[in-house]
Amino acid sequence: MIIDVHGHYTTAPKALEAWRNRQIAGIEDPVSRPRVADLKISDDEIRETIETNQLKQMKARGSDLTIFSPRASFMAHHIGDFQVSSTWAAICNELCFRVSQLFPDHFIPAAMLPQSPGVAPETCIPELEKCVAQYGAVAINLNPDPSGGHWTAPPLTDRSWYPIYERMVAHDIPAMIHVSTSCNACFHTTGAHYINADTTAFMQLIQGDLFKDFATLRFVIPHGGGAAPYHWGRYRGLAQELKKPLLRDHLLGNVFFDTCVYHQPGIDLLTTVVPAENILFASEMIGAVRGVDPETGHNYDDTKRYIEASARLTPAQRRQIYEGNARRVYPRLDVALKKRGK
Amino acid sequence: MIIDVHGHYTTAPKALEAWRNRQIAGIEDPVSRPRVADLKISDDEIRETIETNQLKQMKARGSDLTIFSPRASFMAHHIGDFQVSSTWAAICNELCFRVSQLFPDHFIPAAMLPQSPGVAPETCIPELEKCVAQYGAVAINLNPDPSGGHWTAPPLTDRSWYPIYERMVAHDIPAMIHVSTSCNACFHTTGAHYINADTTAFMQLIQGDLFKDFATLRFVIPHGGGAAPYHWGRYRGLAQELKKPLLRDHLLGNVFFDTCVYHQPGIDLLTTVVPAENILFASEMIGAVRGVDPETGHNYDDTKRYIEASARLTPAQRRQIYEGNARRVYPRLDVALKKRGK
């Protein structure tokens, strides 16, 4: 079985974006603010957007199940206040839940949170609880920078995040650390802000001692861990300067990297420096990079090809990366699969 | 000959830091503001700090010449106003010039600029001109984020930077894109801010068409290009989505990466994805990572060992990386060396 831990509903029916645009317009002009009930998306519309996109590609590439969350760049936590984010998160999470109900063998939800700049993370707990209890969410996406590229929130090791971590531990769900769109002109969203956030989060975790307080807390750092594996020597050296344990002991019991690295040499590096038990298969398809690589003739984000071609991985390690690690890092996924006899 | 294009005067006599602290205190309390003449550092003091540190390591590791600039984390352009930065840059540049005069065979200066948040980059031109004309500077360090982690300046492709680029082109000097200390708690200076800035700058250059306006402008992106080589497939794919030429045609005539990547797999990746003619030997010694790697028994930043051990590089490519590329990218260095019969 091949589990992709990183997929977003980037192909949702256009009505979703239209509703969001009305919601944004309504921030300044409350009269025009839409009601949740104004958004009408049928099951058939959802089916069509999935069958002709993600599911089609999954079948073509040979992956079975995707952990599916709302479109990351559309979370846009910087827009409006907590109430705006809260309504928007509820809508987006429900849509992903509906995808998982329509295609139970192929999608299982992860929840976005109704984060908002300057608002305490604990305000997100009701949405988190609902998504776990009612939608069967097996993970959350946690945005370390709800400001959208201004980085006004405290580091992930700050105690203001702890209420979220307490609920994660209680439910035994991991968080993928994932920012949203950048509203800072310096940072291209998917080319700079996403990758920088991954690198930033990893370094914050090196600096802190978060896993002393939460021994079973687990984070997935997407996009292959940002710059971290490429600069693994730098990070080992910085941990040493900061008098921290070796990275393996300090972080690798709790921190995992996905395989959203869109070329063979990158995957080869990742699998060279990061132990196989810390690597989770993912593609972020359909996402930031949708084209065909002229050097290979295949989609850049067809990451399974790179895992298959890696000369370094044993068949057992490939199975870990494709399935075993995901079942271990997302125990609620494992439970859900076992219930279905998988 | 082995040229290290990336060294900072991180070991300057303590009097420099003491003076800077007085200068910072003087921002609030003009009475206590020190005069430039209050800073007294003798040639013997400079000699001692170099001979026992950088030069000792250069001899031990086998590099010959370092392009030497003021300590990057001490530039701290976010402190004070243009006048504060201007005085500080002048002092720091003069010190590096003195190092180059005391050790002409081993150090040649690159200039820091008196950048200041919200102040037009063109205000830096007098310092740039002085450093080229009087100090023999062969390059500048350009900070894409003078705010120190708040990223309030426009992207490097913005026209406000053009006056700097015009002078660079006129003098045929490259800029190393190098941020300074982070005053944003989210970003560890050397573990997140430096690497993020490299990644950010690279993506800004992909988004823009700067080299259409300045065909001979050259940037060196330090720390192995941040995350760029590890995510080379992503960047090739994003360039494609943005309808830009292939990265090789779009950027590699003007953009170069140094080898400040502190482990063998990182250097192996760099030399796999980036053409040898775009790679410049560097260590940033003595810099962010000063320890000994327990896995190798050698300093993390002894990057020459990784270049030597690379199975991929031919002897001719190693010579390019050690010397040939530096002479090409820094023509004033080449001229200075030839004047000395080297």
- Residue recorded with tokens 């492709």: B157
Q: B180 CB contacts (<8 Å, ≥6 apart)?
A: B72, B73, B74, B75, B76, B77, B78, B143, B146, B148
- For residue A111, give the H/E element and its range: strand A111-112
Looking at the complex, report in whole angstroms how far the Cα of residue A183 sits from the nearest Cα belonging to chain B: 11
Please give the C-alpha separations between residue A81 and each of A27, A123, A204, in angstroms, as whole numbers. 9, 12, 26
Amino acid at B153: A
Partner residue opposite A289 with nearest CB, options B153, B234, B295: B234
DSSP string, B39-50: ----HHHHHHHH
The DSSP 8-state label assigned to residue B176 in this structure reads E
Active-site residue identified among A284, A295, A308, A323: A284
Interval B163-213: pLDDT, tens = 999 999 999 999 999 999 999 999 999 999 999 999 999 999 999 999 999
Q: C-alpha dihedral over B55, B60, B63, B65, to 10 degrees?
A: 10
Residue type, A188: H
Query: pLDDT at position A194, please?
Result: 98
Q: Read off φ and ψ for residue A148, nearest 5 degrees.
A: 75, 45
Query: Nearest CA to CA, how far is A2 from chain B (Å)?
Result: 23
Does the beta carbon of B206 lie under 8 angstroms from any beta carbon of chain A? Answer: yes
Per residue in A187-234, pLDDT (tens digit) is 999 999 999 999 999 999 999 999 999 999 999 999 999 999 999 999
pLDDT for B30 equals 85
Interface membership of B223 toward A (CB under 8 Å) = yes
Is the pLDDT score of B16 beyond 90? yes
pLDDT at A30 over 90: no
Mutation target vs A (from B249, B263, B272; most A CBs, 10 A cutoff): B263
Alpha carbon distance A264, A272 (integer Å): 12
Mean pLDDT rounded to a whole number for chain A:
98
Q: Which residue type, as a one-letter code, is found at position A82?
A: F
Work out the mean pLDDT of chain B and round it to a whole number. Answer: 98
Which of A150, A233, A262 is opposite residue B266, by nearest beta carbon? Answer: A233
pLDDT of res. B96:
98
- Comparing A21 with A31, the larger pLDDT belongs to A21
Q: Which helix (H) or strand (E) holds A279?
A: strand A279-280
For the stretch A43-67, pLDDT in tens is 999 999 999 999 999 999 999 999 9
Which pLDDT score, from 0 to 100, does residue A61 have?
98
pLDDT at B9: 98
Residue to test with chain A: of B152, B157, B186, most A Cβ within 10 A: B186
Q: Could A262 and B231 be called an inter-chain contact, meaning their C-beta atoms sit closer than 8 Å?
A: yes
Compute the distance between CA of residue A341 and CA of residue A323 in angstroms, rounded to an integer.
15
- Beta strands A107-109 and A111-112 are unpaired
User: Would the pLDDT of A165 be above 90?
Assistant: yes
Give the amino acid at B20.
R
Q: Residue B181: which of B112, B132, B126, B238 has the closest Cα?
A: B112
- Say if residues B219 and B241 touch (Cβ distance below 8 Å): no
The pLDDT confidence band at residue B31, using thresholds 50, 70 and 90, is confident
Per-residue confidence band for B312, with pLDDT thresholds at 50, 70 and 90: very high
Contact A217, B211 (CB under 8 A): no
Cβ atoms of B155 and B203 closer than 8 Å: no
DSSP A231: T
In angstroms, rounded to a whole number, what is the distance separating the alpha carbons of residues B280 and B277?
A: 8
Give the pLDDT score at B32. Answer: 86
- CB B196 to CB A191 under 8 A? no
ipTM score: 0.98
Distance from CA of A171 to the nearest CA of B (A): 27
Token pair of A15, please? 């009505």
Q: Which of A228, A227, A326 is nearest to A276 (CA)?
A: A326
Cα nearest neighbour of A232 on chain B: B263
- B239 Cβ under 8 Å from any chain A Cβ: no
Instruction: From chain A, pick out residues whose CB is under 8 angstroms from the CB of B258.
Output: none
Question: Beta A65-70 vs B175-177: how paired, if at all?
Answer: unpaired
Residue A284 catalytic?
Answer: yes
Taking CA–CA distances from B289, the nearest residue in chain A reads A237
Q: What is the pLDDT of residue B212?
A: 98
Segment A150-163, tens digit of pLDDT:
999 999 999 999 99
Q: What is the DSSP annotation of A3-19?
A: EEEEEEETT--HHHHHH
Confidence bin at B264 (pLDDT 50/70/90): very high
Whether B183 has its CB under 8 Å from any CB of chain A: the answer is no
Helices (H), A172-219: 194-207, 210-213
Q: Is B125 on the interface with A (CB under 8 A)?
A: no
Taking the C-alpha atoms of residue A179 and residue A181, their distance in angstroms, rounded to an integer, is: 7
